[in-house]
């Protein structure tokens, strides 16, 4: 199988290996944008907290009110504003409202303040204190808004008990029955257009499996809320998500968008009893968005500590245990996936390297062949012209030389003829220099790396460096002729116009300078 076929097979294997582990949580572009927006909101949590503090300070600035009743209302308002932000502070102000109501003997305001205190205690997980407070409030004294608040407190009290994570299972059925009784009583005294009535009807229909009817009540609730950035609107979005997730048991992409939008609004409002974040954390783990889930988780538990709700902390602890167990299993599975991926990637890298080397070698050979062909074509054209010019030049010189001798002999100038034809004449020396220069130029043009290649095979201190006026010296010319296939020393001596002994000596000197074996040197020169 060819290397590129192996690489393709490995890439396909990796894709198949990871396609089996894609999350099955439905996502949309809007959901991804909402996740990004939520994470940005978490980064700006301090800004929203500072805004919350300013709002609370503006209410505190109204103290003391003109009347005790106004002060009670202000204390109750502060308790409400702190209720999802800091339970301890909320309890402090509702206790002040209770004390002041008792001090002025206003039973109606005192009962209402106590019922609000019950809601705080019940929501925070202090169920025993909440029940003890409720039992001090006489049912017969409750009418109108007080009666509505009374049934609401009992309803939420039992709802928190049977839905709490730490309550014994043997008691939960009883708590659920009591919840249903008080819920029906609450519905009987509630305005059918109020948020309380609609919310409880929505929950009742969802528990009965009437999901379309539950969504209808939810839609009515949402239509009544003008401010789509409020905590009430956030609660409606969260409840709509819970109809699908908790009661129906399946979620659509739009349901996930509702949950994320709810979480964003609650973070902006500094609602530290962030029920939606409780679900978002788990959702992000299901999506395999581990870093985002960790960020949400850190903020969620930090918020619960600031809130000071025992119930929420206990619920969070249960969730943390479940998530940790799931993460441990997920990490084990992921480690196996990573190991498999590393093996496949390693094989892929090897295949790609082999393929790359094959392709690169082929490319180098093709490029070299192309360059050689182009160079051969260019050189052949150039040296045909050079040879023709040289022969033509020598014919002209021979003509001039013959003419000089003929003229001298004709004039009887024998001595001049002798001088021209003397072996010591500068004429032969100049011709020899020109011959070597032309040979050197042509050879180095054809083999431009010849001198460097030769020197790379010699000892560092024995490198051959021609004079500035030379291209090659005699040692390099001998090696050049050997490269051209002329290895006989006698023939080399004839071509270089030197003695055979000189050629032998120079060849011996070159061998002595070699830093590598002679056989390897001869092979390098022949393959150059």
Q: What are phi and psi of 458, to 5 degrees?
A: -100, 160
pLDDT at 462 over 80: yes
pLDDT at 293 over 70: yes
Q: Which of 249-253, 270-274, 493-497 ranks highest by mean pLDDT? A: 249-253
Average pLDDT over residues 447-458: 88
Considering the chain, tell me which residue range(s) the CATH 1.25.40.10 domain(s) occupy: 52-189
In the three-class reduction of DSSP (H, G, I as helix; E, B as strand; rest coil), residue 458 is classed as: strand
pLDDT at 41 over 60: yes
- CA nearest 186: which of 115, 240, 249? 115
- Residue 59 structure tokens: 């209410």
Which pLDDT does position 184 carry in this prediction? 95
pLDDT band at 125 (very low <50, low <70, confident <90, very high): confident
Beta bridge pairs of residue 514: 458
Whole-number Å distance between alpha carbons of 161 and 311: 10
| Stated pTM of the model | 0.58
pLDDT digits (tens, 9 = 90+) for 208-217: 999 999 999 9
Q: Which residue has the higher pLDDT, 407 or 184?
A: 184
In the three-class reduction of DSSP (H, G, I as helix; E, B as strand; rest coil), residue 514 is classed as: strand
In the three-class reduction of DSSP (H, G, I as helix; E, B as strand; rest coil), residue 84 is classed as: coil
Right CATH for 52-189 from 3.30.1280.10, 3.20.20.140, 2.160.10.10, 1.25.40.10: 1.25.40.10
Non-local (6+) Cβ contacts of 47 within 8 A are none
> Which of 118-122, 209-213, 334-338 shows the lowest per-residue confidence on average (mean pLDDT)?
334-338
pLDDT band at 256 (very low <50, low <70, confident <90, very high): very high
3-state helix, strand, coil in the chain (%, to 5): 80, 0, 20
Which pLDDT does position 396 carry in this prediction? 64
pLDDT band at 44 (very low <50, low <70, confident <90, very high): very high
pLDDT at 382 over 70: no
Beta bridge pairs of residue 458: 514
pLDDT digits (tens, 9 = 90+) for 476-495: 888 888 888 888 888 888 88
**Residue 190 carries which DSSP code?**
S
pLDDT at 458 over 70: yes
Average pLDDT over residues 203-207: 94
Average pLDDT over residues 219-233: 93
Asked if residues 75 and 90 have their Cβ atoms less than 8 Å apart, the reply is no
Percent of the chain with pLDDT over 90: 37
pLDDT digits (tens, 9 = 90+) for 54-63: 999 999 998 8
Average pLDDT over residues 345-356: 70
pLDDT at 266 over 80: yes
pLDDT at 6 over 80: no
State how far Cα 257 lies from the chain centre. 24
pLDDT digits (tens, 9 = 90+) for 12-35: 555 554 444 444 555 789 999 999
Average pLDDT over residues 463-474: 86
Which pLDDT does position 326 carry in this prediction? 58
Q: Which residue has the higher pLDDT, 48 or 387?
A: 48
Which pLDDT does position 412 carry in this prediction? 76
> Which of 102-111, 163-172, 187-196, 453-462 shows the lowest per-residue confidence on average (mean pLDDT)?
163-172
Which pLDDT does position 21 carry in this prediction? 45
pLDDT at 97 over 50: yes
> Which of 36-40, 165-169, 293-297 shows the lowest per-residue confidence on average (mean pLDDT)?
165-169
């Amino acid at each position: 199988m060819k290397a590129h076929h192996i690489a393709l097979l490995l890439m396909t294997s990796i894709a198949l290996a990871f396609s089996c582990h894609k999350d099955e949580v439905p996502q949309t572009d809007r959901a991804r944008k909402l996740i990004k927006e939520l994470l940005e909101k978490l980064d700006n949590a301090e800004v929203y907290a500072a805004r919350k503090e300013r709002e609370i300070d503006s209410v505190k600035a109204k103290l003391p009110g003109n009347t005790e009743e106004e002060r009670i209302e202000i204390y109750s308002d502060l308790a409400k504003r702190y209720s999802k932000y800091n339970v301890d502070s909320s309890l402090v102000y509702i206790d002040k409202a209770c004390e002041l109501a008792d001090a002025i003997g206003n039973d109606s305001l005192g009962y209402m303040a106590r019922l609000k205190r019950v809601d705080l205690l019940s929501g925070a997980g202090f169920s025993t204190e909440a029940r003890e407070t409720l039992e001090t409030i006489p049912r017969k004294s409750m009418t109108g808004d007080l009666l509505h608040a009374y049934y609401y407190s009992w309803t939420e009290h039992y709802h928190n008990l049977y839905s709490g994570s730490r309550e014994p299972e043997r008691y939960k059925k009883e708590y659920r029955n009591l919840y249903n009784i008080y819920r029906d009583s609450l519905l009987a005294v509630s305005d059918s257009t109020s948020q309380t009535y609609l919310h409880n009807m929505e929950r009742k229909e969802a528990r009965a499996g009437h999901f379309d009817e539950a969504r209808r009540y939810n839609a009515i609730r949402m239509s009544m809320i003008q401010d789509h950035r409020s905590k009430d609107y956030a609660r409606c979005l969260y409840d709509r998500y819970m109809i699908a997730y908790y009661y129906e048991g399946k979620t659509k992409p739009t349901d996930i968008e509702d949950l994320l939008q709810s979480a964003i609004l609650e973070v902006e409002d500094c609602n530290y009893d962030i029920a939606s974040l409780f679900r978002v954390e788990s959702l992000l783990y299901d999506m395999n968005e581990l870093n985002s889930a960790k960020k949400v988780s850190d903020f969620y538990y930090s918020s619960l500590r600031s809130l000071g709700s025992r119930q929420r902390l206990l619920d969070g602890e249960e969730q943390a245990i479940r998530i940790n167990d799931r993460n441990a299993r997920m990490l084990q599975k992921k480690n196996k996936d990573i190991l498999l991926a590393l093996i496949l990637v390693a094989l892929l890298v090897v295949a790609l390297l082999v393929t790359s080397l094959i392709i690169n070698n082929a490319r180098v050979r093709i490029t070299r062949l192309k360059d050689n062909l182009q160079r051969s074509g260019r050189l052949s054209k150039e040296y045909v012209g050079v040879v023709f010019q040289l022969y033509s030049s020598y014919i002209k010189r021979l003509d001039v030389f013959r003419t000089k001798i003929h003229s001298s002999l004709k004039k009887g100038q024998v001595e001049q003829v002798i001088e021209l034809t003397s072996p010591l004449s500068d004429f032969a020396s100049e011709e020899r220099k020109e011959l070597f220069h032309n040979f050197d130029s042509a050879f180095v043009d054809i083999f431009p790396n010849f001198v460097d290649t030769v020197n790379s095979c010699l000892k560092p201190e024995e490198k051959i460096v021609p004079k500035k006026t030379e291209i090659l010296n005699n040692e390099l010319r001998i090696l050049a002729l050997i490269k051209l296939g002329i290895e006989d020393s006698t023939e080399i001596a004839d071509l270089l116009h030197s003695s055979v002994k000189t050629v032998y000596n120079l060849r011996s000197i070159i061998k002595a300078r070699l830093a590598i074996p002679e056989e390897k040197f001869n092979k390098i020169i022949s393959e150059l």
